[in-house]
Homo-oligomer: A and B are copies of this chain.
Amino acid sequence: MRTIEKLRGRLGELCDLAALEMLASWDQLVMMPEQGAPARGRQLGTLARVAHERAIAPEIGAWLEELGERELDPLDADIVRLARRDWQRARRVPPELTAERSQAQVEGQERWRVARERDDFASFAPALRRNVELARAYGACLDEEGAGAYQALVYDYDYGLQVGDIARLFSELSASLSALLADGSGRRRPPEPALPVEVQRRAVESTLGRIGVERKSWRVDVSAHPFTAWMGRRDTRMTTRYEEAGLESLLSALHEYGHALYERQIDPALEGTNLGTGTSMSAHESQSKLWENHVARHPAFARVLAAELRAAGAEVTPEELHGSMVGVEPTLVRVSADPLTYPLHIVLRFELERAMIEGSLAVEDLPGAWQDGMRRLLGLEVPSDALGCMQDIHWSAGSFGYFPSYAIGCLLAAALWEAIERDTGRRAEDLERGEVGPIQAWLGERVHRYGRRLDTVPLAEAATGAGLQVDPFLRYVEPFAA
């Protein structure tokens, strides 16, 4: 067998193990009986350890060395380039640490789920502390440039993205957003239309159906925190959640659809290789935010949503819907934040998680720091930890360095939307009819198909003609502040 085929064989195997890990995690959050948690923790730990061992095996190094001296076609050259990066990073992490993290993440999520219900941060703190310590140790292993554990963790989600650049973008962003917010102090978001859960459910189903979500290759389920998993290009699993009244279920559904479409439109030639997935969390979030902010919140698409809701039995006008979806009012909960204040929630999390990893914020001081930050950035008093520092699943699942991607994603989505309209014309007329084909096609061609062949910043440059920037997003939200 040729060396490149040996490498591709191993990479294919790692894809399969990653898909099984995604299945086991999806099942845990969507299907598993709660008492299955301890066993699932062990199973995920074993799977991570086995995958890690095979990812760092010395023979891969030998193959890579041999392939470094060969002429390769551009695709194989990219496969080898990323394989070298991944192999070198993975070898820096001891298998025991990988297994410990996996176990702690499973346990952390279970603790979080129970503690959040009871608003009992103290019962969650030990599991969170354990996850912080393990993330710090993990980041330290990966920190080859001496830029600190937090920078290394960010690279894990967004290779090449500099913490210093994030801090500068976030500083510019929060200053501009604060200025916009100050203009409209005492603002009130229009009340959300009353939408019984059953109506929401039918509208989510029919709206997703319009844009290509079919039973034969998708599932749409319910989980505490919406997410998307993919077990193959034609096995996509989205979740959403239903609150009494409110548009969150629809917005979440469009958001998750953006993630799903990205994975589904990657060049099929990359399937089963190390390139066949979204390139970074920021790029992924740019896709979800594009569908949430620029499609779902488009005044023209509000007509489609209103029609679906009316067909499902609700009395609602497009104007009401759109007004409710773009109304600006600081809120406690990130996932139900308006599009303007949303990034401020992320700025807070970025500051706090960076401080926890760097050791300047102790876990037990997190609730207080959260309250201070919410006061400073959004002018809000936090009434409970359930609505404060325990509202998100991420830290309980050991994800540190992930949050910035949510705001970088907002910025990139706005830049991509401007590029889409530059290339395909204003989208209003199509969106009024629910026609999203040109958007899907543009994204497939200019963003999705590359998979991991381009990192976030080069991808942004290739698709929009510029690097990461704040202005397109500010142009997008400015009208909402009026």
Interface on A for B, CB 8 Å cutoff?
12-13, 16-17, 19-20, 23-24, 27, 31-36, 38-40, 42-43, 45-47, 49-50, 54, 215-219, 231-236, 272
Q: Which B residues touch A38, using CB under 8 A?
A: 232, 234
A17 touches B39 (CB 8 A): no
Instruction: Identify the 10 closest CB pairs spanning chains A and B, nearest first.
Output: A39-B232, A36-B235, A35-B234, A16-B46, A35-B217, A16-B43, A33-B217, A34-B216, A35-B216, A13-B46
Determine which of B43, B47, B219 lies in contact with A231 in the assembled complex, contact meaning CB atoms within 8 Å.
Answer: B43
A231 touches B40 (CB 8 A): yes
**25 A-B residue contacts at CB 8 Å?**
A12-B46, A13-B46, A13-B50, A16-B45, A16-B46, A17-B47, A17-B50, A19-B43, A20-B43, A31-B219, A33-B215, A33-B219, A33-B234, A33-B235, A34-B216, A35-B216, A35-B234, A35-B235, A38-B232, A38-B234, A39-B232, A39-B234, A40-B231, A40-B232, A43-B232
CA of A33 to CA of B219 in the docked complex: distance in angstroms?
Answer: 7
A231 touches B20 (CB 8 A): no
> If A39-B232, A232-B39 touch, does A31 touch B31 (CB 8 Å cutoff)?
yes
CA of A36 to CA of B24 in the docked complex: distance in angstroms?
Answer: 15
Distance of A379 from chain B, by nearest CB (Å): 42
Distance of A335 from chain B, by nearest CB (Å): 25
Q: Which B residues touch A217, using CB under 8 A?
A: 33-36
Determine which of B20, B33, B233 lies in contact with A47 in the assembled complex, contact meaning CB atoms within 8 Å.
Answer: B20
Determine which of B12, B39, B235, B236 lies in contact with A40 in the assembled complex, contact meaning CB atoms within 8 Å.
Answer: B235
CA of A234 to CA of B231 in the docked complex: distance in angstroms?
Answer: 25
| Total copies of this chain within the assembly | 2
Determine which of B17, B39, B231 lies in contact with A235 in the assembled complex, contact meaning CB atoms within 8 Å.
Answer: B39
Q: Which B residues touch A27, using CB under 8 A?
A: 23, 27
Residues of A contacting B: mostly = helix
CA of A20 to CA of B39 in the docked complex: distance in angstroms?
Answer: 10
CA of A24 to CA of B215 in the docked complex: distance in angstroms?
Answer: 19
A39 touches B231 (CB 8 A): yes
Q: Which B residues touch A23, using CB under 8 A?
A: 23-24, 27, 43
CA of A219 to CA of B33 in the docked complex: distance in angstroms?
Answer: 7
CA of A89 to CA of B417 in the docked complex: distance in angstroms?
Answer: 60
Q: Which B residues touch A47, using CB under 8 A?
A: 16-17, 20
Q: Which B residues touch A232, using CB under 8 A?
A: 36, 38-40, 43
A46 touches B17 (CB 8 A): yes
CA of A13 to CA of B52 in the docked complex: distance in angstroms?
Answer: 14
Q: Which B residues touch A35, using CB under 8 A?
A: 216-217, 234-235
CA of A54 to CA of B50 in the docked complex: distance in angstroms?
Answer: 10
A233 touches B39 (CB 8 A): yes
Q: Which B residues touch A19, using CB under 8 A?
A: 39, 43
Q: Which B residues touch A219, using CB under 8 A?
A: 31, 33
